[in-house]
Amino acid sequence: MRVGVLSVSIHVPEAQSLKERRHPVRSIKDLLRARLNVAVAEVGGSQQWQRTELVVATVSEEEARVRSVLADALSIMERNPEVEILHPVVEVW
């Protein structure tokens, strides 16, 4: 059994309030859950208007599958024009 985690910092340059940041972040989280069946949590930056941190987790029997799902998750996040993805880190155990 393999567990994989993708951690990213997200910058929402147009956000001028926590409420404005919430929309693009929520849409990313919902999309990742729906398309990839992964766990997604917002874990940091909750008081900064333009920054937050997301963690995506997945489990599989095969390490290659875990890495593929996390790469797909990163690709989905990078395609969102409302955000900038900073410092992606993938860990697999």
Q: How far, in whole angstroms, is CA 6 from its chain's centroid? A: 7
Which residue type occupies 85? I
Each residue's pLDDT tens digit, 2-33: 999 999 999 999 999 988 999 999 999 999 99
- pLDDT tens-digit map of 31-80: 999 999 999 999 976 678 899 999 999 999 999 999 999 999 999 999 99
The whole-number pLDDT of residue 46 equals 67
Two tokens, residue 46: 């909750």
Count of the separate structural domains present in the chain: 1
Torsion of CA 19, 23, 24, 26, to 10 degrees: 110
- Domain residues for the domain of 33 are 2-92
Instruction: Return the H-helix or E-strand segment holding 78.
Output: helix 63-78
Q: What's the CATH number where 10 sits?
A: 3.30.70.1120
pLDDT tens-digit profile of 78-93? 999 999 999 999 999 9
Whole-angstrom CA distances from 26 to 15, 64, 84, 93 are: 13, 28, 15, 27
